[in-house]
Structures are given as C-alpha cells and as structure tokens.
Amino acid sequence: MAAAAERTEALSQKELADRLNVSPRQVRNLTNEGVISRRRDGSYPWPKAHQEWIAFKMTERERRYSKDKLNLTEEQARHTAIKAEIAELDLAERRGELVHVEDSTRLVRAALEAVDASLKTAPSRYAQDLAAAVKVPTARALRLLEDIIENVRGDLRNARRDGDDDDGAEAA
C-alpha cells in the first residue's frame, strides 16, 4: 500500500494544467518562476507538482492575508488619528478658540459695509468744516472730499473683491 502512495505520474504541461484547473500558460509561468518543478524530459511529476502548487497557493494566501492585516492596521491608525483631530477641533470650538470661516467672513463684511456707509456720507458731513479750515469755497471742499472718499471706498471694494477671490481659490 505504501508503494502506491509513493508512485508518481509523469504529466504533460496540458495534463497538469487540467488537474490544477489553470491554463497551460500559467503552468509554464510557474515553472519559469521555480514554483513547480519539471523533470529533464519536460514532464511534471504528480503528486509532487500538486504539492508545490498547494504550497504556492498557501504562501500566496498568507502574503495576501498579512497585507490585508497591515492595511487594516493602517486604516485603524488613520481612523484613530482623524477621531483625535475631530475631538481637538470640537474642544477648541467649545472653548471659543475656533472661529468658523463663514462667521469671520460675515463679521468682516459687516464691518466693511459699515465703514463704506460712513464714508459715503462723510463729504456732506465734513465739507463745511474743511472749507472753513482751509478757507476754500464749500463746493470745492465737497468735491475734494468726494474724490478722497471715493478713492478710499474703491480700495474697500477691491479689498472685499480680493477676499472673495481668495475664498473661491481655496474652494476650487
């Protein structure tokens, strides 16, 4: 009975491929890679080739499993780091140390609009005082103030527009 277990068959590449349920090309590739051994006459010893095939598949599975395990460990570490970052942001917000971009944008915009509104009425409010101080007609002082204030308001509009461009560039 022991002699029957030790008996080997000589298989062709096609026969081995059929038994392993792979293509003859894959058998050739595995032979070239040294995974499956071939006899000098070009035949494949059965069951030795089958054992080599099983060992290869087991090694391949172990490699894949350890890679998946490594990826899982990396994902768990990444997940833990993200959770810690979220907790830090939440704590900073509760402490009042965190300002949302939308809130600060709204506050700055409101301040710019208030300054703009004040500047818009400044020429009529200060023209008479300026005219008296520099001894020029009120109409001339008014035009001078209107020019100065319009330049300042233009600068404010440009600053507001530049701020809008920055927000858009970051979002894009």
In this prediction, residue 163 carries a pLDDT of 62
Exposure b/e, 113-127, CB count within 10 A at least 16 = b? eeeeeebeebbeeeb
Which of residues 65, 90, 112 is at a domain's end? 65
SS3 state of residue 45: strand
Place of tokens 């710019």: 112
- For the chain, give the mean pLDDT: 82
Which of residues 17, 38, 65 is at a domain's end? 65
Examine residue 105 and state whether it is found in any structural domain, yes or no: yes
Examine residue 135 and state whether it is found in any structural domain, yes or no: yes
143-169 per-position pLDDT tens digit: 888 888 888 888 888 876 766 655 444
One domain, residues 60 and 108: no
> In angstroms, rounded to a whole number, what is the distance separating the alpha carbons of residues 45 and 11?
6
Range of the domain at 56: 8-65
Counted residue by residue, the chain has a size of 172
Q: Which of 16-25, 107-116, 128-137 has the highest mean pLDDT?
A: 16-25
Instruction: Give whole-number Cα distances, 112 to 105, 156, 157, 162, 167, in Å.
Output: 10, 7, 9, 13, 17
Among residues 4, 59, 11, the alpha carbon closest in space to that of 34 is found at 59
Instruction: Give whole-number Cα distances, 116 to 35, 38, 148, 162, 163, in Å.
Output: 80, 89, 13, 16, 16
Examine residue 74 and state whether it is found in any structural domain, yes or no: no
Examine residue 96 and state whether it is found in any structural domain, yes or no: no
The answer on pLDDT for 76 being more than 60 is: yes
Examine residue 76 and state whether it is found in any structural domain, yes or no: no
Q: Which residue has the higher pLDDT, 6 or 29?
A: 29
Total tally of structural domains belonging to the chain: 2
Examine residue 121 and state whether it is found in any structural domain, yes or no: yes
> In angstroms, rounded to a whole number, what is the distance separating the alpha carbons of residues 127 and 60?
88
Which of residues 39, 65, 91 is at a domain's end? 65
One domain, residues 107 and 59: no
86-106 per-position pLDDT tens digit: 899 888 888 888 888 888 888
The answer on pLDDT for 134 being more than 50 is: yes
Residue 84 dihedral angles phi and psi, to the nearest 5°:
-65, -40
**Single-letter amino acid, residue 73:** T
Examine residue 73 and state whether it is found in any structural domain, yes or no: no
In this prediction, residue 31 carries a pLDDT of 93
The answer on pLDDT for 114 being more than 90 is: no
Examine residue 71 and state whether it is found in any structural domain, yes or no: no
User: DSSP string of 112-168?
Assistant: HHHHHHHHHHHHHHHHHHHHHHHT--HHHHHHHHHHHHHHHHHHHHHHHHHHHHHHH
Q: Does the reported pTM lie above 0.85?
A: no
pLDDT band at 5 (very low <50, low <70, confident <90, very high): low
Exposed, middle or buried, 30 (CB in 10 Å: 0-12/13-18/19+)? buried
22-75 per-position pLDDT tens digit: 999 999 999 999 999 999 999 999 989 989 988 888 888 777 776 666 677 778
